[in-house]
Amino acid sequence: MIKNSITAIEQAAWSTPLVLRGPFSDCIGQAARLGYDGIELHVADSSALNKTKILRALKDSHICLTSIGTGPSYSQYGIFFTSEDPEIRAEAIRRMIGHIRFGAETGAVVIIGLIKGQKKDCKDAARYPEYFQAGMEACIREAERLDVTVAFEVIDRFESDWLNTVEEGIALLDGFGSDHLKLHLDTFHMNIEEPNIAESIRRAGKRIGHVHVADSDRWYPGHAHYDFESTYAALRDAGYDGAVALESFLYPDPKTAAKLALGKMTELRDRFYGNGVKSV
Protein backbone atom coordinates (compact mmCIF):
# COMPACT_ATOMS: atom_id res chain seq x y z
CA MET A 1 0.00 0.00 0.00
CA ILE A 2 1.49 3.33 -1.01
CA LYS A 3 1.99 6.02 1.62
CA ASN A 4 0.55 9.53 1.50
CA SER A 5 3.34 11.98 2.29
CA ILE A 6 3.66 15.76 2.49
CA THR A 7 6.63 18.05 1.88
CA ALA A 8 8.13 20.32 4.54
CA ILE A 9 10.95 22.82 4.81
CA GLU A 10 12.13 24.92 7.72
CA GLN A 11 12.21 28.20 5.80
CA ALA A 12 11.57 29.20 2.18
CA ALA A 13 9.88 31.84 0.07
CA TRP A 14 6.09 31.75 0.02
CA SER A 15 6.18 30.83 -3.69
CA THR A 16 8.30 27.71 -3.10
CA PRO A 17 6.16 24.64 -3.86
CA LEU A 18 6.59 22.97 -0.47
CA VAL A 19 3.63 22.81 1.87
CA LEU A 20 4.58 22.77 5.55
CA ARG A 21 7.00 25.31 7.06
CA GLY A 22 8.81 25.60 10.38
CA PRO A 23 10.93 23.44 12.71
CA PHE A 24 10.91 19.90 11.40
CA SER A 25 9.63 18.40 14.64
CA ASP A 26 6.61 20.73 14.46
CA CYS A 27 6.01 19.85 10.80
CA ILE A 28 6.11 16.15 11.63
CA GLY A 29 3.45 16.59 14.30
CA GLN A 30 1.32 18.68 11.97
CA ALA A 31 1.56 16.09 9.17
CA ALA A 32 0.43 13.37 11.56
CA ARG A 33 -2.50 15.41 12.86
CA LEU A 34 -3.61 16.08 9.30
CA GLY A 35 -3.65 12.34 8.66
CA TYR A 36 -0.58 11.78 6.48
CA ASP A 37 1.36 8.51 6.67
CA GLY A 38 4.71 10.18 6.18
CA ILE A 39 6.63 13.36 5.55
CA GLU A 40 9.32 14.49 3.12
CA LEU A 41 11.85 16.89 4.62
CA HIS A 42 13.72 19.31 2.36
CA VAL A 43 17.13 19.73 3.92
CA ALA A 44 20.19 21.76 3.07
CA ASP A 45 22.62 19.72 5.19
CA SER A 46 21.58 16.56 7.02
CA SER A 47 24.73 16.62 9.14
CA ALA A 48 23.50 19.85 10.74
CA LEU A 49 20.12 18.41 11.77
CA ASN A 50 19.09 17.55 15.30
CA LYS A 51 18.44 13.97 14.25
CA THR A 52 17.58 12.77 17.73
CA LYS A 53 14.75 15.30 17.92
CA ILE A 54 13.50 14.43 14.43
CA LEU A 55 13.58 10.68 15.07
CA ARG A 56 11.74 11.16 18.35
CA ALA A 57 9.08 13.28 16.64
CA LEU A 58 8.61 10.63 13.94
CA LYS A 59 8.24 7.90 16.55
CA ASP A 60 5.88 9.91 18.75
CA SER A 61 3.75 10.93 15.76
CA HIS A 62 3.65 7.40 14.29
CA ILE A 63 4.62 8.51 10.80
CA CYS A 64 7.69 7.79 8.70
CA LEU A 65 10.26 9.86 6.87
CA THR A 66 9.45 8.84 3.32
CA SER A 67 11.99 11.00 1.52
CA ILE A 68 14.69 13.64 1.79
CA GLY A 69 14.63 16.57 -0.62
CA THR A 70 18.05 18.05 -1.31
CA GLY A 71 17.13 21.12 -3.37
CA PRO A 72 17.85 23.81 -0.74
CA SER A 73 21.60 23.33 -1.29
CA TYR A 74 21.16 24.55 -4.86
CA SER A 75 18.33 27.04 -4.49
CA GLN A 76 19.41 28.68 -1.24
CA TYR A 77 23.19 28.21 -1.20
CA GLY A 78 24.34 27.68 -4.79
CA ILE A 79 25.90 24.31 -4.01
CA PHE A 80 25.75 21.68 -6.78
CA PHE A 81 27.72 18.87 -8.44
CA THR A 82 28.71 20.73 -11.59
CA SER A 83 30.10 24.01 -10.29
CA GLU A 84 33.40 25.09 -11.82
CA ASP A 85 34.61 25.60 -8.22
CA PRO A 86 36.07 22.30 -6.90
CA GLU A 87 35.28 23.26 -3.30
CA ILE A 88 31.60 23.71 -4.15
CA ARG A 89 31.55 20.37 -5.99
CA ALA A 90 33.13 18.65 -3.00
CA GLU A 91 30.62 20.28 -0.64
CA ALA A 92 27.71 19.12 -2.79
CA ILE A 93 28.98 15.55 -2.62
CA ARG A 94 29.59 15.82 1.13
CA ARG A 95 26.02 16.98 1.67
CA MET A 96 24.58 14.23 -0.50
CA ILE A 97 26.60 11.61 1.38
CA GLY A 98 25.14 13.02 4.61
CA HIS A 99 21.62 12.81 3.21
CA ILE A 100 22.18 9.21 2.13
CA ARG A 101 23.47 8.29 5.58
CA PHE A 102 20.37 9.87 7.14
CA GLY A 103 18.33 7.90 4.62
CA ALA A 104 20.01 4.74 5.89
CA GLU A 105 18.95 5.60 9.45
CA THR A 106 15.34 6.28 8.51
CA GLY A 107 14.54 4.24 5.40
CA ALA A 108 13.96 7.44 3.41
CA VAL A 109 14.49 7.79 -0.32
CA VAL A 110 17.03 10.52 -1.12
CA ILE A 111 16.19 12.78 -4.06
CA ILE A 112 18.75 14.06 -6.54
CA GLY A 113 17.18 17.12 -8.11
CA LEU A 114 18.71 20.48 -8.88
CA ILE A 115 21.73 19.69 -6.70
CA LYS A 116 22.97 18.06 -9.92
CA GLY A 117 23.43 21.59 -11.31
CA GLN A 118 22.39 23.01 -14.64
CA LYS A 119 24.48 23.39 -17.75
CA LYS A 120 23.96 27.15 -17.69
CA ASP A 121 25.59 27.29 -14.24
CA CYS A 122 28.81 25.64 -15.43
CA LYS A 123 31.02 28.09 -17.28
CA ASP A 124 33.24 25.29 -18.59
CA ALA A 125 30.59 23.42 -20.59
CA ALA A 126 33.05 20.78 -21.75
CA ARG A 127 33.68 19.72 -18.15
CA TYR A 128 30.01 19.55 -17.16
CA PRO A 129 29.54 15.82 -18.01
CA GLU A 130 32.69 14.95 -16.05
CA TYR A 131 31.54 16.85 -12.97
CA PHE A 132 28.03 15.42 -13.21
CA GLN A 133 29.35 11.87 -13.56
CA ALA A 134 31.63 12.26 -10.54
CA GLY A 135 28.83 13.57 -8.35
CA MET A 136 26.41 10.85 -9.39
CA GLU A 137 28.96 8.07 -8.96
CA ALA A 138 29.83 9.25 -5.44
CA CYS A 139 26.14 9.15 -4.49
CA ILE A 140 25.56 5.75 -6.06
CA ARG A 141 28.58 4.22 -4.30
CA GLU A 142 27.32 5.38 -0.91
CA ALA A 143 23.74 4.36 -1.67
CA GLU A 144 24.89 0.88 -2.64
CA ARG A 145 27.08 0.61 0.45
CA LEU A 146 24.20 1.53 2.77
CA ASP A 147 21.34 0.00 0.74
CA VAL A 148 19.58 3.33 0.22
CA THR A 149 17.49 4.33 -2.80
CA VAL A 150 18.50 7.57 -4.50
CA ALA A 151 15.89 8.90 -6.89
CA PHE A 152 16.87 11.12 -9.81
CA GLU A 153 14.22 13.77 -10.38
CA VAL A 154 12.97 14.33 -13.92
CA ILE A 155 12.37 18.10 -14.07
CA ASP A 156 10.68 20.07 -16.83
CA ARG A 157 12.56 22.27 -19.32
CA PHE A 158 11.58 25.52 -17.59
CA GLU A 159 13.36 24.53 -14.36
CA SER A 160 16.18 22.33 -15.67
CA ASP A 161 18.09 22.65 -18.92
CA TRP A 162 18.51 18.91 -19.49
CA LEU A 163 17.18 15.47 -18.48
CA ASN A 164 13.58 16.65 -18.75
CA THR A 165 11.64 13.54 -19.81
CA VAL A 166 11.01 10.08 -18.43
CA GLU A 167 12.69 8.57 -21.49
CA GLU A 168 15.84 10.62 -20.81
CA GLY A 169 15.70 9.57 -17.18
CA ILE A 170 15.50 5.89 -18.12
CA ALA A 171 18.53 6.30 -20.39
CA LEU A 172 20.40 7.91 -17.49
CA LEU A 173 19.62 4.95 -15.24
CA ASP A 174 20.71 2.52 -17.94
CA GLY A 175 24.01 4.37 -18.20
CA PHE A 176 24.80 3.97 -14.50
CA GLY A 177 23.38 0.47 -14.15
CA SER A 178 22.70 0.55 -10.41
CA ASP A 179 19.63 -0.96 -8.76
CA HIS A 180 19.93 1.76 -6.10
CA LEU A 181 19.40 4.59 -8.59
CA LYS A 182 15.78 5.04 -9.57
CA LEU A 183 13.55 7.75 -11.07
CA HIS A 184 11.67 10.41 -9.19
CA LEU A 185 8.55 11.40 -11.13
CA ASP A 186 6.48 14.54 -10.56
CA THR A 187 3.01 15.10 -12.02
CA PHE A 188 3.62 18.82 -12.49
CA HIS A 189 6.75 18.22 -14.57
CA MET A 190 5.27 15.29 -16.48
CA ASN A 191 2.23 17.38 -17.39
CA ILE A 192 4.60 19.70 -19.28
CA GLU A 193 6.93 17.16 -20.87
CA GLU A 194 5.20 13.82 -21.45
CA PRO A 195 2.97 13.25 -24.53
CA ASN A 196 1.24 10.39 -22.70
CA ILE A 197 1.90 10.44 -18.97
CA ALA A 198 0.37 7.05 -18.19
CA GLU A 199 2.43 5.35 -20.90
CA SER A 200 5.61 7.00 -19.60
CA ILE A 201 4.87 5.80 -16.07
CA ARG A 202 4.24 2.26 -17.24
CA ARG A 203 7.44 2.33 -19.25
CA ALA A 204 9.40 3.45 -16.20
CA GLY A 205 7.86 0.55 -14.26
CA LYS A 206 10.00 -0.79 -11.43
CA ARG A 207 12.52 2.01 -11.99
CA ILE A 208 10.21 4.45 -10.19
CA GLY A 209 11.63 5.29 -6.77
CA HIS A 210 9.51 8.24 -5.67
CA VAL A 211 6.54 10.33 -6.81
CA HIS A 212 5.46 13.94 -6.27
CA VAL A 213 1.93 15.14 -6.93
CA ALA A 214 0.52 18.58 -7.68
CA ASP A 215 -2.22 19.65 -10.05
CA SER A 216 -1.59 21.21 -13.47
CA ASP A 217 -1.44 24.69 -11.88
CA ARG A 218 0.82 23.37 -9.08
CA TRP A 219 -1.92 23.79 -6.51
CA TYR A 220 -3.13 20.78 -4.50
CA PRO A 221 -4.46 17.75 -6.46
CA GLY A 222 -8.07 18.29 -7.44
CA HIS A 223 -7.74 22.06 -7.91
CA ALA A 224 -7.23 22.06 -11.70
CA HIS A 225 -7.41 19.65 -14.64
CA TYR A 226 -4.61 17.08 -14.23
CA ASP A 227 -5.78 13.49 -14.85
CA PHE A 228 -4.80 11.82 -11.59
CA GLU A 229 -6.97 8.78 -12.28
CA SER A 230 -4.84 7.63 -15.20
CA THR A 231 -1.65 8.40 -13.25
CA TYR A 232 -2.64 6.30 -10.23
CA ALA A 233 -3.81 3.51 -12.50
CA ALA A 234 -0.44 3.57 -14.26
CA LEU A 235 1.47 3.63 -10.95
CA ARG A 236 -0.50 0.57 -9.84
CA ASP A 237 0.20 -1.18 -13.15
CA ALA A 238 3.89 -0.29 -12.84
CA GLY A 239 3.99 -2.03 -9.46
CA TYR A 240 4.85 1.16 -7.59
CA ASP A 241 4.32 0.81 -3.83
CA GLY A 242 6.41 3.66 -2.38
CA ALA A 243 5.31 7.10 -1.25
CA VAL A 244 3.29 9.72 -3.10
CA ALA A 245 4.27 13.10 -1.67
CA LEU A 246 2.39 16.36 -2.00
CA GLU A 247 4.76 18.95 -3.48
CA SER A 248 2.54 21.89 -4.34
CA PHE A 249 2.08 25.56 -3.64
CA LEU A 250 0.76 26.16 -0.16
CA TYR A 251 -2.19 28.13 -1.54
CA PRO A 252 -4.70 29.16 -0.32
CA ASP A 253 -2.96 28.28 2.95
CA PRO A 254 -0.91 25.27 4.07
CA LYS A 255 -3.62 23.60 6.16
CA THR A 256 -6.30 23.88 3.48
CA ALA A 257 -3.95 22.69 0.74
CA ALA A 258 -2.82 19.75 2.86
CA LYS A 259 -6.36 18.70 3.83
CA LEU A 260 -7.85 18.94 0.35
CA ALA A 261 -4.85 17.16 -1.18
CA LEU A 262 -5.03 14.33 1.33
CA GLY A 263 -8.70 13.79 0.58
CA LYS A 264 -7.97 13.43 -3.13
CA MET A 265 -4.84 11.32 -2.60
CA THR A 266 -6.64 8.94 -0.23
CA GLU A 267 -9.60 8.59 -2.58
CA LEU A 268 -7.27 7.71 -5.45
CA ARG A 269 -5.19 5.32 -3.38
CA ASP A 270 -8.27 3.49 -2.16
CA ARG A 271 -9.74 3.30 -5.65
CA PHE A 272 -6.65 2.03 -7.43
CA TYR A 273 -4.80 0.18 -4.67
CA GLY A 274 -7.69 -0.93 -2.48
CA ASN A 275 -8.54 0.13 1.06
CA GLY A 276 -5.73 -0.23 3.51
CA VAL A 277 -4.68 0.69 7.00
CA LYS A 278 -2.36 3.58 7.70
CA SER A 279 1.26 2.68 6.89
CA VAL A 280 4.01 3.51 9.34
**Sequence-distant (≥ 6) Cβ neighbours of residue 275 within 8 angstroms:** none
Residues with Cβ within 8 Å of 177's Cβ and at least 6 positions away in sequence, in order, are: none
Residues 254 and 20: beta-carbon distance below 8 Å: yes
CA 261 centroid distance within chain? 17
Choose the catalytic residue: 153, 159, 167, 229.
Answer: 153
Q: Report the candidate in 173, 243, 244 with the shortest Cα–Cα distance to residue 204.
A: 173
Contacts of 36 (CB under 8 A, 6+ apart): 4, 5, 6, 63, 258, 262
Instruction: Tally the C-alpha atoms within 13 A of residue 188's C-alpha that lie toward its C-beta.
Output: 21
Could you tell me which residues come within 8 angstroms of residue 216 by beta carbon, excluding any fewer than 6 positions away?
Answer: 188, 191, 224, 225, 226
Active-site entry in 142, 193, 194, 247: 247
**DSSP per-residue string spanning 105-148:** HHT-EEEESGGG--GGG-S-GGGHHHHHHHHHHHHHHHHHHHT-
Beta bridge partners of 213: 246
247 is catalytic: yes
Listed residue (118, 193, 191, 130) closest to 161, CA to CA: 118
Is 167 in the active site?
no
d(CA 7, CA 42): 7
Question: Which amino acids are annotated catalytic?
Answer: 153, 247
